[in-house]
Amino acid sequence: MRFLKFIPIFCVLFAHSTLASDTIKIVNPVYSSSLEKSLFNDFIQRKTTDVLQISLSMDSTVTQQKAEEYKNEVIRFLSENKDKFQNAANEKSRIKEISKTSSRKFLKQYEDEVYTIDVFETGKYNLITAWIYYGYILEKLGIPFTITEELGHIYLTAYPASAAVPLELNKVELILIQPDQQLKNLFVNFLLDSKLVSKAELSSKGAEGVFNEYYYAQKNITLLELVGYQYFNNAIDFINKQDIKSAAHQLEKSYLLYPSYRTLYLLEQSLISIVQEDKFADISNLIYFSKLASYTKTNSIKEFVIGKFLLMTEDYLITSNRVDLYDRIFNRLDDDVSDVEMKKQIADLYYLNKAKFLAVHKEINKSWDVICKGYKNNSENTETINLMQQVFMEQMRPQLGSDDFKYLYFRRLEEYPILAKSNNILSMGGYYFLHKIYNSYYTDDVTTGDQTMSDFEKFMKQYDYKPESFLIGMGYGEAASYYYRKHDLKKCKATLDRGLEISPNNNDLLRKYKINFPEAGK
């Protein structure tokens, strides 16, 4: 099933979008090392972590020991040059000295596709890694700075409130790749479909205005957010290599550090590229479908997720009887999806179809348990209600002549009043009472017969039950016959009147009336 066209981006983009105000919860991010996991967990819990180490941890070969060594190398560098930096003539001279000294020690050669680890191992750097390095040492030196973006290019300015000294990189020839019209249209449509932008806002600002506002950063960028840029660029590298799963992993971590609409858009596109043709023969791929369902805010992708789950129902439950796998798929989605309406729709499909499957395979009690969960999930689903009533009748039918029937029947009607909306279910209860009335009087158990007749009439009143004529004829007719056999004509006549009050044109009762009481004229 082809649903969305995935648009790969074949360049390193420094552009990032405005900060997402309604952030998603990243589910089970994939980490490349124990160091990266530890640093991200620290960030998730405390919203802070060591910027240099977390940017280094993107390389899976960097251990805690190696990261500490590089961090100590920076600290030694600052200590060795402390006097030189502090004794600079003014703020501008200080920044110039920091830049010159750093170029000799760390930032030796510009190259596009490098990461923080390269600064320390080869002296190679790019715009992002240079700003991460400079931001880190400026913080250590207590020098204020800002990181800003202007149409995709990022600037670092030291002493913004006084000298406002821009940091400059040697031998940098940036070619700024501007988004084409196709990407702009797709991104704006994503914002509309996700209800992040209203039609009124789009009409007011125009597509170009909306794109620029949500695609590019609209505020100063923190150092940790800058590390998020690095993860974003690493994801682009993976996309260019057709490794979409690794790209999705990096985009999740980029979003954790800098939750932006731009990253969310590309993350959704990456995930849908992974899952749209996948039938999940490899269950490990299910995680990507679950993530897509959990992250998306777009109506079109929500519809895709529901449709895909319906296909899974056909493939794994109905066609191949792989119930365990089907259960695992649902449980994963149910745990991960936060969108209330989509979660409800997926549960609707699961409970309804699994209950049908179990009923077809004669596992009625299991089917009942499942469909009850479906009803609790959505008490307004007509299909669920109909199946629930049918399964209840199948469950109760073998109990109909037993002593357990009455207890179980009324307990279920009390727990699920919707069952009493079915005439067939009420008829089952009516049959139980009237058959018991017949048997009681037929075996001369008048005490049980009288009590059951009283219970039956209460049942009729409570549930507004209109019993079938033949059942009244059977039960009340046998009761009248009992009294006739006992020569108690008064009770015989009273019982016939009692039955005719319920079923006025009942042929069985009228015939008995005519035979036994011809003078009554009935």
What one-character DSSP code corresponds to residue 22? Answer: S
Sketch the domain layout of the chain as residue ranges: 34-177, 276-399, 404-522
DSSP β-bridge partners for residue 139? none
CB 26 within 8 A of CB 251: no
CB 62 within 8 A of CB 117: yes
CB 394 within 8 A of CB 359: yes
Kindly give, in sequence order, each residue whose CB lies less than 8 Å from that of residue 308, ignoring residues fewer than 6 positions away.
1, 275, 276, 289
Phi-psi region of 228 (alpha: psi -120 to 50; beta: other; left: phi over 0): alpha
Distance (Å, rounded) from C-alpha 244 to C-alpha 413?
53
Distance (Å, rounded) from C-alpha 352 to C-alpha 371?
6
Phi, psi at 488, each rounded to 5°: -100, 80
pLDDT tens per residue across all 522 residues of the chain: 333 333 333 333 444 445 444 678 898 899 999 999 999 999 998 877 899 999 999 999 999 999 999 999 999 999 999 999 999 999 999 999 999 999 999 999 999 889 999 999 999 999 999 999 999 999 999 999 999 877 667 889 999 999 999 998 865 554 445 677 888 888 888 888 888 888 899 888 888 888 888 887 667 889 999 999 899 989 999 998 999 999 999 999 999 999 988 899 999 999 999 988 776 666 778 889 999 999 988 888 899 999 999 988 998 898 888 899 899 999 999 998 888 999 999 999 999 999 999 999 999 999 999 999 999 999 999 999 999 999 999 999 999 888 889 999 999 999 999 999 999 999 999 999 999 999 999 999 999 999 999 999 999 999 999 999 999 999 999 999 999 999 999 999 999 999 999 999 999 999 999 998 888 655
pTM of the model: 0.79
Predicted local confidence at residue 166, as pLDDT: 93
Would you call 177 helix, strand, or coil by DSSP?
Answer: coil
CB 367 within 8 A of CB 335: no
Predicted local confidence at residue 165, as pLDDT: 95
CA 131 to chain centre: 37
How many angstroms separate the first and last alpha carbons of the chain?
A: 72
- The tokens for 506 are 């009942």
What is the architecture, at CATH level 2, of domain 276-399?
A: Alpha Horseshoe (1.25)
Return the closest-CA partner of residue 426 out of 441, 409, 440, 439. 409
Would you call 500 helix, strand, or coil by DSSP?
Answer: helix
Q: Which residue has the tokens 């004794």?
A: 87
Residues in the chain: 522
Q: Judge whether 276-399 and 404-522 match in fold.
A: yes
The residue ranges of DSSP E strands in 32-121, in sequence order, are: 109-110
Kindly give, in sequence order, each residue whose CB lies less than 8 Å from that of residue 154, ignoring residues fewer than 6 positions away.
14, 127, 128, 131, 147, 148, 221, 226, 229
* Mutual angle of helices 199-215 and 261-275, in 10-degree steps: 90
CA 252 to chain centre: 16
- The tokens for 412 are 């279920």
CB 365 within 8 A of CB 358: no
CA 82 to chain centre: 52
Q: What is the dihedral of CA 202, 206, 212, 214, to 10 degrees?
A: 0
- What is 404-522's CATH number? 1.25.40
Predicted local confidence at residue 459, as pLDDT: 96
CB 489 within 8 A of CB 518: no
